[in-house]
Amino acid sequence: MRRAALALSLIASPLLLPAAAVAQEPGVLRVALNADIRTNDPGVNRDGNTDAVMMHVLEGLVGLTEKGDVAPLLAEKIDVSPDGKAYTFVLRDGLVFHNGQPVTAEDVAWTWKRYLDPATKWRCQSEFGGKGQTRIEAVEVTGPRTVVFRIDKPTALFLSMTARPDCGGSAILHKDSVDADGKWKGPIATGPFKFGEWKRGQYVELERFAGYRSLPGPRDGYVGGKKVEVERVRFLVIPDPAATKAALLAGSIDVAPDVSADDLEELKRRGDITVDMAPTMSVSGFLLQTTDPLLQDVRIRRAIAHAIDTAEITAGVTKGTGTPNASVIPVPSSYYSAKQKERAKADPALARKLLAEAGYRGQPIKILTNKRYGPMFDAAVLGQAMLQQVGVNAEIEVLEWATQLDRYLKGNYQMMSFSYSARLDAALNFEMMSGPKATQPRKVWDNPEALKLLSEAMVSADRAKRQERFDRLHGMFLADVPMLVLYNGVDISATGPRVKGYKGWAAGQPRLWGVTLQ
């Protein structure tokens, strides 16, 4: 028996060694990614995973802070002309690309010329090409480190749109990122990591960029100090959450950036795993179709708002990690004022009274949801129970995510459990759900007065004025109830025993600078 065991272990030993090697590769930080990235071309065909990886490689003139405000990144100084139509950026001195070449104003102009060319298929081209908030009329080089952007009309969103992670942060690139025909080769950018090996469907590797010139100070969103303490980062594609957890427990990965709230307690109980929680800027809640024959009566929508206990749903769905929030402006935002904290109180008696006043006679109200995103489904189940308690005949219809998204796009629903991804400017939070339903059926809130206020907040750069507009908008939003905002997402991450210094943040994306391996 002992001989058999010895023989077995001898046969198995060459196979077991690699497992150990995988677990203890020095200087390599292994991070789970639930799907492969789509491309490494900034802002072209991207998703959340693509942004998560690429924002370690890319840097634009400006970036986002921890609270979602805009701050200089490659730019040292930004001047805005009195008419708000010219932005002058002065680049920081000594910046170099991943190929060692210095970053110049010419590179900025070349990069933006490429972005604005429709052939590049940059997803934000229309935003800056006149179909969205603004149109860039010219990008002028006025000095070796100075570049002027001229836009057609003043807007408060120019810088924040430039910093958007889904636009690739409008990263500045070296000309050698494309070949002679203008075809994309790979990113030669300025971020703290260089893009390394990409094995599709398996992993993406980033390498520390030794020539990186970090900003001073502590870590702050996508700006601030970015001190890289590891030689390489390997993002491993692990689609199954259970496999991700197993890999973390086995030491096969170091960071699981997106852990389910269901696993929180178990992971917390283990002494070797560190769990981190950070409120994010995603917005979750119930969309209410204001054109629906039944829900067009605001009294019924208000009844729903009073029937649903926001705090209880938040606690149930996020397992006590989330903060209830009825405002479309997320809690971490710098525009989240005292006024934004107001919300409809859970009051079943009032809900019943409103329903009776509206003449509600038990007509079914269907809540659409899906099972791909567990929190959306859980919220629908809890919401259904609360509505039934006040006599609403609430039903749940579970759809596949793409189908639900299609129904959202067409406005084809009564009530829908839904989450909006993070918008990092308060105006964009309102903009994502406000608009004329006749031409944009996906829009939730169609109130001309609100749209007027919103357009003012989008143009004005005056912070106090913007805050006042947002506070008024929130009051109107609570009165109209086009959506019942419940909570902002929580970014729960877990790290293995080798990792120190990992910290989640409002964008809900991993940041691997400032992280050490022991």
Partner 1 sequence: MLRYILHRLLMTVPTALLVALAVFVLLRLVPGDPAQLMLGDTATEETLAELRAQLGLDQPIAMQFLYWLGNVAVGDLGRSITNDLPVLPLIFDRFQVSASIVIVAVVLATLVAVPAGMLAAWRQNSLGDLLIVGGATMLLSIPSFWLGLLMLLFFGVKLGWLPVVGYVSFGEDFGRALAYVILPIATLTLIEIGVITRMARAATIEVLRLEYITHARAKGVPEGRVLWRHALPNAFAPTWTLLGLILGNLLGGIAVIETVFTLPGLGRLLVDGIFARDYPVVQGCLLFVAIMYVLVNLLVDLLYPVFDPRVAAE
Q: Among residues 36 and 220, whose Cβ is nearest to partner 1?
A: 36
Q: Among residues 246 and 479, whose Cβ is nearest to partner 1?
A: 246
> Counting contacts by CB under 8 A, is residue 216 touching partner 1?
no
Nearest approach, Cβ of 512 to partner 1 (angstroms)? 18
Q: Could you give the CA distance from residue 55 to residue 164 in angstroms, rounded to a whole number? A: 10
Q: Could you give the CA distance from residue 292 to residue 313 in angstroms, rounded to a whole number? A: 25
> Counting contacts by CB under 8 A, is residue 53 touching partner 1?
no
The CA-based angle 275-276-282, given to 5 degrees, is 130
Q: Among residues 48 and 224, whose Cβ is nearest to partner 1?
A: 48
Stretch that binds partner 1, among 29-37, 308-316, 358-366, 468-476 (CB under 8 A): 29-37
| SS3 annotation, 429-446 | HHHCCECCCCCCCCCCEC
Q: In terms of Cα–Cα distance, which of 278, 248, 237, 266 is closest to 496? A: 248
Q: Among residues 274 and 337, whose Cβ is nearest to partner 1?
A: 274
> Counting contacts by CB under 8 A, is residue 198 touching partner 1?
no
Q: Among residues 166 and 347, whose Cβ is nearest to partner 1?
A: 166
> Counting contacts by CB under 8 A, is residue 156 touching partner 1?
no
Q: Among residues 91 and 444, whose Cβ is nearest to partner 1?
A: 444
Which residue in the block uniquely carries the two structure tokens 């509600």? Answer: 360
> Counting contacts by CB under 8 A, is residue 246 touching partner 1?
yes
**Which alpha helices (H) appear in 432-484, and where do they start and end?**
448-459, 463-480
Nearest approach, Cβ of 26 to partner 1 (angstroms)? 17
- Pattern 72-91, partner 1, x by CB under 8 A: --------------------
Instruction: Classify the C-alpha dihedral 19-20-24-25 as positive or negative.
Output: negative
> Counting contacts by CB under 8 A, is residue 253 touching partner 1?
yes
> Counting contacts by CB under 8 A, is residue 8 touching partner 1?
no
Given candidates 17, 138, 385, 479, which one binds partner 1 under the rule CB under 8 A?
17
Q: Could you give the CA distance from residue 289 to residue 295 in angstroms, rounded to a whole number? A: 6
> Counting contacts by CB under 8 A, is residue 369 touching partner 1?
no
Strands (E) across 39-192 are located at: 62-64, 70-72, 75-80, 86-91, 136-143, 146-151
Burial class (CB in 10 A: 0-12, 13-18, 19+), 9: exposed
- According to CB under 8 A, which residues from 266 to 295 bind partner 1? none
CA distance readout (Å), 130 to 10, 134, 137, 430, 445:
69, 5, 9, 21, 24
Three-state DSSP class for residue 29: strand
Q: Among residues 146 and 280, whose Cβ is nearest to partner 1?
A: 280
Given candidates 35, 138, 356, 479, which one binds partner 1 under the rule CB under 8 A?
35
- According to CB under 8 A, which residues from 381 to 410 bind partner 1? 400-403, 405-409
Q: Could you give the CA distance from residue 142 to residue 497 in angstroms, rounded to a whole number? A: 51
| SS3 annotation, 209-255 | CCCCCCCCCCEECCEECCCCCCCEEEEEECCCHHHHHHHHHHCCCCE
Element (H, E) at 383: helix 374-389
Nearest approach, Cβ of 252 to partner 1 (angstroms)? 4
The letter for the amino acid at 158 is: F
> Counting contacts by CB under 8 A, is residue 15 touching partner 1?
yes
Q: Among residues 32 and 267, whose Cβ is nearest to partner 1?
A: 32
> Counting contacts by CB under 8 A, is residue 247 touching partner 1?
yes
Of how many residues is the chain composed?
A: 518
Which residue in the block uniquely carries the two structure tokens 């406000």? Answer: 434
Q: In terms of Cα–Cα distance, which of 23, 26, 31, 20 is closest to 205? A: 31
Q: Among residues 36 and 297, whose Cβ is nearest to partner 1?
A: 36
Q: Among residues 432 and 461, whose Cβ is nearest to partner 1?
A: 432
Nearest approach, Cβ of 403 to partner 1 (angstroms)? 4
> Counting contacts by CB under 8 A, is residue 240 touching partner 1?
yes
- Pattern 413-442, partner 1, x by CB under 8 A: -------xx-x--------x------xx--
- According to CB under 8 A, which residues from 166 to 185 bind partner 1? 166
Q: Are 180 and 191 in contact (CB under 8 A)?
A: no
Given candidates 77, 81, 101, 131, which one binds partner 1 under the rule CB under 8 A?
131
Given candidates 24, 45, 101, 142, which one binds partner 1 under the rule CB under 8 A?
45
Q: Among residues 131 and 452, whose Cβ is nearest to partner 1?
A: 131
Q: Among residues 124 and 228, whose Cβ is nearest to partner 1?
A: 124
Distinct helix (H) and strand (E) counts, the chain: 15, 20
Can you give the binding site for partner 1, defined by CB under 8 A? 12, 14-23, 32, 35-36, 38-39, 45, 47, 121, 123, 126-127, 131-132, 166, 200-203, 236-240, 242-244, 246-247, 249-253, 372, 400-403, 405-409, 420-421, 423, 432, 439-440
